[in-house]
Structure 1
């Protein structure tokens, strides 16, 4: 069965369980997209750490990496 048709087959009762990517069926299962977004790494925090390290080096201080 094509992956983009599994959501409709599940909704219509043709299959009982579907093991597929939730993003394919975002209109049927919006919680799947929320779970995908919730597990993304915090890019902002990593960027802040890099900026602090760059500022420390610019001031002539050790960035404190271990």
Structure 2
């Protein structure tokens, strides 16, 4: 798996994902907040399968 999630994208995914999970745990936003798990996972592993069909990458160019 080649990384396709860059630095700022990674941080945003992890932070927003954690906020969504916290909202789901506290009951503020309901079950939709568990989608934050996907954001956290893609941020931690630096790979987003949704980027593949479009050839996107937010990693710095070498």
Regarding TM over 0.5, the answer is: no
**TM-score, structure 2 length as denominator?**
0.34
Structure 1 or 2: larger helix share?
2
Report the TM-score, using the length of structure 1 for normalisation. 0.32
